[in-house]
């Protein structure tokens, strides 16, 4: 073969457009995942303590404040930062669940109002609640699938959250199932808090807690 012969694939590679470099400023953003996980986990734990009957129904009013500020706004901020860092999975998840908490707080605010501006809780409203919660369970399960290539902690968080949503949907019609959903939700919230501190300890102290090692099941 002549020395000056060129392989067509090599020539194409020489003229191919280089992959766009990630902006330098995105590399300067700290890891926002612990913030998002803590915002989600702690707010979930507070609300599920009501469904388990550990705290009274009146405590829902206090949880609404957390849902607006921490579970909602703070988690959405974490989502935006993840998107700026180029992390589609975490960014979409945090922004979506942050929006969920704000929507949940708004719905509960409206159900507490009287008159034409408030929501009336009737059988049709409960059917809608059931559909909404079941849909969020399916939405969460779709997020669970990518975690099969991430780590055990995230697998547990999204797996238990899917189950929590489905139990809450069934619990609209059965108080015992709703209480069971509360216990699963408590475990889910605590697992998110654990995952957040596992990431903080790994990054700040170099301590790798169980469940954070990468996995690949699919």
Residue 5 covered by a domain: no
Q: How many domains does the chain have?
A: 1
The pLDDT of residue 156 is 99
Residue 107 covered by a domain: yes
User: Could you give the CA distance from residue 6 to residue 18 in angstroms, rounded to a whole number?
Assistant: 20
Question: Phi, psi at residue 121, to the nearest 5°?
Answer: -90, 100
The pLDDT of residue 117 is 57
Once rounded to an integer, what is the mean pLDDT over residues 87-114?
A: 93
Residue 16 covered by a domain: no
Residue 2 covered by a domain: no
Structural domain for 54, as ranges:
31-204
Share of the chain above pLDDT 90, in %: 78
């Amino acid at each position: 073969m002549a020395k000056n012969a060129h392989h067509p694939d090599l020539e194409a590679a020489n003229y191919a457009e280089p992959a766009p470099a990630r902006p330098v400023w995105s590399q300067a953003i700290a890891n926002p995942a612990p913030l998002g996980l803590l915002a989600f986990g702690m707010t979930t734990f507070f609300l599920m303590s009501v469904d388990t009957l550990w705290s009274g129904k009146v405590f829902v009013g206090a949880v609404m404040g957390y849902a607006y500020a921490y579970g909602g706004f703070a988690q959405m901020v974490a989502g935006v930062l993840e998107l700026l860092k180029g992390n589609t999975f975490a960014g979409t998840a945090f922004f979506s669940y942050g929006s969920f908490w704000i929507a949940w707080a708004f719905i509960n605010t409206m159900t507490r109002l009287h008159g034409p501006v408030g929501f009336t809780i009737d059988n049709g409203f409960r059917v809608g609640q059931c559909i909404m919660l079941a849909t969020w369970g399916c939405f969460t399960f779709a997020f669970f699938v990518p975690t099969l290539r991430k780590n055990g902690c995230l697998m547990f968080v999204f797996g238990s959250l899917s189950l929590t949503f489905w139990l809450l949907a069934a619990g609209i019609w059965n108080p015992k199932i709703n209480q069971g959903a509360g216990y699963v939700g408590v475990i889910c919230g605590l697992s998110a808090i654990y995952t957040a501190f596992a990431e903080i300890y790994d990054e700040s102290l170099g301590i790798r807690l169980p469940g954070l090692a990468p996995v690949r099941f699919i």
